[in-house]
Amino acid sequence: MGGVHGAAAAIANAACNLIGACPPCHDDVDHDPDFAKSKGWLIPHPHDPTHLPAWLHTPNGVGWWLLLPDGDYQWIDPDDVHMPWEN
């Protein structure tokens, strides 16, 4: 059977690796993975989601946020955002 197990499962199911998306954004993830990666919504392996921000609409504003292991989030200055898979 496929899927992730052990330490990989702990990261895959951690709060910092889970984003609730509205239907149009979920469609973007499914149909345009490059766009989703540019927004931090799709993190390719082996990158660790605890170190990469995501573009989110939150009660505290819209922008780049680092998702924390406890389910909270922290604002990131846009000048500090760099996705390691992008040039």
The sign one gets for the Cα dihedral 73, 76, 78, 80 is negative
Q: For the whole model, what pTM was predicted?
A: 0.77
Is residue 86 assigned to a domain? no
- Within a domain: 34: yes
Contacts of 60 (CB under 8 A, 6+ apart): 75
The pLDDT tens digits for 11-42 are 777 777 778 888 988 898 899 999 999 999 98
* 50 within domain boundaries: yes
Quick check: 19 and 56 in contact, CB under 8 A?
yes
Would residue 36 count as lying in a domain?
yes
- Is 41 a domain residue? yes
Per residue in 40-56, pLDDT (tens digit) is 998 887 888 888 899 99
Q: Residue 76 in contact with residue 39, Cβ under 8 Å?
A: no
Residue 73 within any structural domain of the chain? yes
Domain count, the chain: 1
Write out the residue range of the structural domain in which residue 64 sits. 6-80
- Cα separation, 76 vs 6, whole angstroms: 30
Q: Is the CB of residue 25 less than 8 Å from the CB of residue 73?
A: no
Residue 84 has pLDDT above 90, yes or no: no
